[in-house]
């Protein structure tokens, strides 16, 4: 097998991480120490926002009234499908009880977290779909309190009306006009709501992603997120125009968004690369400049000899979004394993999943798809275990536990088993040493 790079990236998704980490660490420490007033000061300094942080019921009604019915219908379309998929995910999970040996019963419970914080980007773009993806999924999971934060929009005097309407429709308990690191900090520390998040979810820029990374452990997070990625696998039946369109469609996210093509055809690869500049030129600013930079600095094109090699290369990238433009789609479905979400065939595209088709668009980046999937109902649910047993079951479990404990040098552990055996079976003798 031979792998040939027709285009190599000049930068990696890790470029610039150290500077970001220092800035975010300082901001989080200041907000934790200074509380709501320090968060408000950052909102004033960075977003020039002087309004109310907590979105009122009147503001929600005003946001709904400001939106055309067609927009609300489209949001409802997306909500219905995302909710339907989340409900199917929940139905696939189950609690159980099983008898592992006579008298030893163990089981599993599914317990939703108490509070979830949902970050919804609203700076350069109003990420309406992110509100659908995060809030809806949390609600279906059974989370008791859902708080949304979104950056205040200068044109609207607060979070974008479509985001406010969507968050409310999907079931948010509280919406905050707060973005960036200060927004994430408010979710984590329970500022303005009194409900500190057990888990924080949602996409954001590099500062938001770094804030979540630093806070991980103190709170749960959906995943370690970086710039949006797309990888397209294409064979000689693919349409180079559709391939180029889909590469550019994700590159517009930002100047550091990787777009990768793995092609089984040199002719297809050359044609797609030739078309990319034309598809970039169709974009308005600042999208055009962002896509140009992303393709120049992070775009890669790889030529492979076989579909098996394409799978190997793709799995090494472990892309956030993976499209297959080719034949025998069931083969690709059965053989690809590292991706956040898979889009099979020309007829579907990342944008469909991003906006309204039903699967969640909050997905792993920077290779994390090697070990995790994206946001799902399960992210908001703790899978916890329990056990109970009869006294008679201690004859086998207690003896084995004591011997293994002593083998490990943990006498205190061993004695908890010994004590039960002596209590339950005072007239019996057991071999308690390994």
Structure tokens at 235: 């064979």
Strand pairing partners for 176?
54, 149
pLDDT score recorded for residue 19: 83
pLDDT band at 11 (very low <50, low <70, confident <90, very high): confident
| Least confident stretch, 1-10, 58-67, 137-146, 327-336 | 1-10
Provide, rounded to the nearest whole percent, the portion of the chain with pLDDT above 90.
91
Dist. CA 85–CA 102, nearest whole Å? 39
Tell me the average pLDDT across 196-214: 94
Find out whether 97 and 106 touch, Cβ atoms under 8 Å.
Answer: yes
Where is average pLDDT lowest: 9-23, 254-268, 331-345, 382-396? 9-23
* Euclidean distance between CA atoms 89 and 374, whole angstroms: 13
Sign of CA dihedral 35, 36, 39, 41: negative
Question: Measuring CA to CA, which residue among 305, 283, 282, 293 is closest to residue 3?
Answer: 305
Active-site annotation holder among 195, 320, 323, 325: 320
Is the pLDDT at 112 greater than 70, yes or no?
yes
Same fold flag, 17-222 and 227-373: yes
Q: What would the pLDDT profile of 130-142 be if each residue is shown by its tens digit? A: 999 999 999 999 9
131 torsion bin: left (phi>0), alpha (psi -120 to 50), beta (else): alpha
How confident is the model over 362-385, as a mean pLDDT?
Answer: 95
3-state SS string over the chain? CCCEEEECCCCCCCCCHHHHHHHHHHHHHHHHHHHHHHHHHHHHHHHCCCCCCECCHHHHHHHHHHCCHHHHHHHHHHHHHHHHHHHHHHHHCCCEEEEEECCEEEEEEEEECCEEEEECCCCCCCCHHHHHHHHHHHHHHCCCEEEEEECCECCCCECCHHHHHHHHHHCCCEEEECCHHHHHHHHHHCCCCCCCCCEEECCCCHHHHHHHHHHECCEEECCCCCCCCEEEEECCCCCHHHHHHHHHHHHCCCCCCCEEEEECCHHHHHHHHHHHHHHHHCCCCCHHHHHHHHHHHHCEEEECCCHHHHHHHHHHHCCCEEEEECCCHHHHHHHCCCCCEEEECCCCCHHHHHHCCCCCCCCCCCCHHHCCCCCCHHHHEEEEEEEEECCCCHHHHHHHHHHHHHHCCCHHHHHHHHHHHHHHCCCCCCCCCC
Q: What is 227-373's CATH topology?
A: Rossmann fold (3.40.50)
pLDDT at 83 over 90: yes
pLDDT at 13 over 70: no
- Count CB-CB contacts under 10 A for residue 347: 9
pLDDT of residue 419: 97
Q: Which pLDDT belongs to residue 24?
A: 95
44 beta partners? none
Beta bridge partners of 232: 261, 323
- What average pLDDT does this structure show over 34-58? 94
The reply to whether 321 belongs to the active site is yes
Candidate list 321, 323, 325, 361, residue with the active-site label: 321
If you average pLDDT over every residue of the chain, what do you get? Answer: 95
Query: Among 413, 390, 361, which Cα is nearest to 229's?
Result: 361
Task: Give the residue-averaged pLDDT of 388-402.
Answer: 96
pLDDT of residue 14: 61
pLDDT grade for 377, boundaries at 50, 70 and 90 = very high
Q: How many CA atoms lie within 13 A of 205 on its CB side?
A: 19
pLDDT of res. 15: 61
- pTM of the complete model: 0.91
- Model confidence at 124, pLDDT cuts 50, 70, 90, reads low
Write the CA distances from 315 to 74, 251, 336, 342, 349, integer angstroms.
Answer: 34, 20, 7, 12, 19
Domain locations along the chain:
17-222, 227-373, 390-424
Radius of gyration of the chain (CA): 26
Residue 430 pLDDT exceeds 80: yes
| CB contact set of 412 (below 8 Å; sequence gap of 6+) | none
Classify domain 17-222 at the CATH topology level. Answer: Rossmann fold (3.40.50)
Do 232 and 325 touch, CB atoms closer than 8 A?
yes
Nearest Cα residue to 147 out of 205, 87, 202: 202
Query: What value does the mean pLDDT take over residues 335-345?
Result: 97
Flag the least confident range among 1-10, 55-64, 353-362, 398-407.
1-10
Q: Note the pLDDT of residue 360.
A: 94
Of the pLDDT bands very low, low, confident and very high (cuts 50, 70, 90), residue 157 is confident
150 and 176 in contact (C-beta within 8 Å)? yes
Beta bridge partners of 358: none
Whether 253 is catalytic: no
Average pLDDT, stretch 352-361? Answer: 95
């Amino acid at each position: 097998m031979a792998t040939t790079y027709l285009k190599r990236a000049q930068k990696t998704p890790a470029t610039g991480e150290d500077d970001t980490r220092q800035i975010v660490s300082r901001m989080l420490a200041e907000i934790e120490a200074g509380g709501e007033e320090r968060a408000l000061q950052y909102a004033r300094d960075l977003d020039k926002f002087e309004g109310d942080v907590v979105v009122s019921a009147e503001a929600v009604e005003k946001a709904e009234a400001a939106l055309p019915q067609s927009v609300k219908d489209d949001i409802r379309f997306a909500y219905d499908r995302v909710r339907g998929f989340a409900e199917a995910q929940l139905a696939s999970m189950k609690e159980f009880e099983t008898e592992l040996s006579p008298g030893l019963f163990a089981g599993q419970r599914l317990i939703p977290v108490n509070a979830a914080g949902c970050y919804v980007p609203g700076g350069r773009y109003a990420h309406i779909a992110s509100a659908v993806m995060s809030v809806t999924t949390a609600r279906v999971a059974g989370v008791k309190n859902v708080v949304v934060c979104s950056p205040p929009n200068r044109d609207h005097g607060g979070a974008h009306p479509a985001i406010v309407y969507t968050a409310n429709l999907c079931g948010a308990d509280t919406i905050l006009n707060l973005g960036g690191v200060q927004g994430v900090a408010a979710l984590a520390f329970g500022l303005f709501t009194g409900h500190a998040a057990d888990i924080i979810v949602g996409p954001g820029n590099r500062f938001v992603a770094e804030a979540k990374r630093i806070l991980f452990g103190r709170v749960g997070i959906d995943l370690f997120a970086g710039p949006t990625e797309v990888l397209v696998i294409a064979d000689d039946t693919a349409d180079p125009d559709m391939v180029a369109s889909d590469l550019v469609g994700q590159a517009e996210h930002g100047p550091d968004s990787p777009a990768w093509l793995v092609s089984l055809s040199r002719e297809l690869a050359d044609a797609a690369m030739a078309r990319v500049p034309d598809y970039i030129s169709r974009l308005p600013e600042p999208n055009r400049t962002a896509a140009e930079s992303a393709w120049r600095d992070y775009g890669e094109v790889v030529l492979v000899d076989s579909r098996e090699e394409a799978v190997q290369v793709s799995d090494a990238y472990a892309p956030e979004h993976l499209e297959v433009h080719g034949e025998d789609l069931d083969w690709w479905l059965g053989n690809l394993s590292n991706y956040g979400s898979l889009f099979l065939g020309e007829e579907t595209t990342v944008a469909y999943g991003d906006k309204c088709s039903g699967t969640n668009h909050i997905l792993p980046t920077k290779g994390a798809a090697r070990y995790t999937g994206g946001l799902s109902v399960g992210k908001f649910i703790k899978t916890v275990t329990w056990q109970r047993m009869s006294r008679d079951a201690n004859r086998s479990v207690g003896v084995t536990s004591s011997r293994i404990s002593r083998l490990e040098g943990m006498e205190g552990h061993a004695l908890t088993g010994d004590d039960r055996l002596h209590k339950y079976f005072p007239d019996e003798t057991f071999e308690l040493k390994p």
